């Protein structure tokens, strides 16, 4: 399987990625576009940082570089689970960016006092009076113990609550949570390779006023194996797309239900390339169909 570093080298995309922000800045677009969190006056930039392996491995040197690039381009959302909640949160404090950053945290259902203590500890590490967002991957226990999450909100320890799962097999359960008004955010998978969420879940979330963050934009790197050896269509430039990574990300961002797409990397060049997808034009419906046709041709 081709990893992204090899793919970027083979395709020459690294050089393109390194120059992208400069061309964007020359056109006067200095910060990532934002989209509103439904039901609030708050916004999120449309490209976020996923829970990178550098975060999980506590590689603070790399994590610091990634966050600096992110902040430079107006990024805000960082997904942080496990020990990353503490280490990345402390980096934000050290950079004086706690108020600017929006952390997507993970807090599993449990005894209410233990949940409260954990929320307080993590919030303190992130320089927050309240955690921005907590979600869990535990669908069944989340429903059963939803009142405990609501108690955290009522106590002012948490601002938003959500569920984070990938896989079509989980969509029915997530849909029920959305219909029952139990989540402020959902984090799900959606891409050219995994487009199923567009059938019902994304329109439902938009209709119910639930914010949507997208994970797995590159299918854990498998996307680059698929497109290796294929030339990026020239017409991709019509919507300011300059790499295969941006081809995937811009398709995702073209859906109006999507608030933010989460990108994971340990490579600053890749981070720049990913952020570039948030600038410039997005594909219209005709262009999105062309993108689907290209992917279908590659996979056939």
Is residue 14 predicted with pLDDT exceeding 60?
no
Question: How deeply is 108 buried, as exposed, middle or buried, from its count of CB atoms within 10 A (0-12, 13-18, 19+)?
Answer: middle
Residue 29 has a pLDDT of 64
Mean per-residue pLDDT of the chain? 91
pLDDT digits (tens, 9 = 90+) for 172-208: 999 999 999 999 999 999 999 999 999 999 999 999 9
- Whole-angstrom Cα distance, residue 69 to residue 107? 27
Give residue-wise pLDDT tens across range 202-244.
999 999 999 999 999 999 889 999 999 999 999 999 999 999 9
Rounded Cα distance, 79 and 84, in Å? 9
What DSSP string runs through 136-186? ES-HHHHHHTHHHHHHHHHTTSEEEEEEE--SGGGHHHHHHHHHTT--SEE
Claim: this prediction has a pTM higher than 0.85: yes
Q: How many domains does the chain have?
A: 1
Q: CB neighbours (10 Å) of residue 190?
A: 24
User: What is the per-residue pLDDT across 108-143, written as a single tens digit (0 to 9) for each?
Assistant: 999 999 999 999 999 999 999 999 999 999 999 999
Is residue 273's pLDDT more than 90?
A: yes
Closest CA to 17 of 289, 232, 298: 232
What distance in Å separates the CA atoms of residue 218 and residue 47, rounded to the nearest whole number? Answer: 14
**Residue 250 to residue 191: CA distance in whole angstroms:** 10
d(CA 58, CA 38): 33
**Rounded Cα gap, residues 86 and 20, in angstroms:** 32
Taking 90 as the threshold, does the pLDDT of residue 27 lie above it?
no
Overall average pLDDT of the 135-158 stretch: 96
**CATH code: domain of residue 205:** 3.20.20.100
What average pLDDT does range 45-57 have in this prediction? 84
Per-residue pLDDT band at 3 (split at 50, 70, 90) = low
Q: Which residue has the higher pLDDT, 33 or 16?
A: 33
> Which residues constitute the domain of residue 117?
4-299
């Amino acid at each position: 399987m081709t990893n992204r570093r090899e793919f970027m080298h083979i395709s020459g995309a690294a050089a393109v990625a390194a120059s992208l922000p400069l061309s964007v800045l020359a056109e006067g677009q200095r910060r990532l576009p934002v989209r509103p969190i439904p039901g609030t006056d708050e916004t999120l930039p449309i490209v976020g940082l996923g829970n990178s392996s550098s975060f999980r491995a506590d590689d603070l040197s790399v994590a610091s570089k990634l966050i600096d690039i992110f902040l430079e381009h107006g990024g805000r959302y960082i997904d942080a689970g496990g020990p990353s909640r503490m280490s990345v949160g402390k980096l934000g404090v050290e950079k004086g960016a706690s108020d600017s950053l929006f952390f997507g945290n993970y807090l599993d259902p449990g005894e209410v006092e233990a949940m409260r203590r954990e929320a307080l500890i993590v919030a303190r590490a992130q320089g927050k009076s309240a955690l921005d967002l907590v979600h869990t991957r535990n669908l069944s226990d989340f429903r059963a113990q939803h009142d405990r999450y609501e108690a955290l909100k009522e106590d002012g320890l948490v601002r938003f609550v959500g569920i984070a799962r990938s896989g079509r097999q989980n969509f029915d359960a997530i849909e029920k949570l959305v219909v029952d008004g139990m989540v402020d955010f959902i984090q799900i998978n959606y891409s050219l390779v995994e487009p199923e969420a567009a059938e019902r879940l994304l329109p439902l979330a938009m209709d119910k006023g639930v914010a949507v963050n997208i994970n797995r934009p590159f299918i854990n790197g498998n996307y680059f194996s698929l497109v290796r050896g294929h030339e990026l269509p020239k017409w991709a430039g019509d919507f300011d797309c300059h790499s295969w990574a941006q081809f995937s990300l811009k398709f995702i961002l073209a859906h109006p239900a999507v608030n933010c797409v989460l990108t994971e990397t340990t490579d600053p060049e890749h981070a720049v390339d990913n952020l570039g997808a948030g600038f410039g034009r997005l594909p219209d419906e005709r262009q999105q169909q062309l993108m689907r046709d290209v992917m279908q041709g590659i996979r056939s």
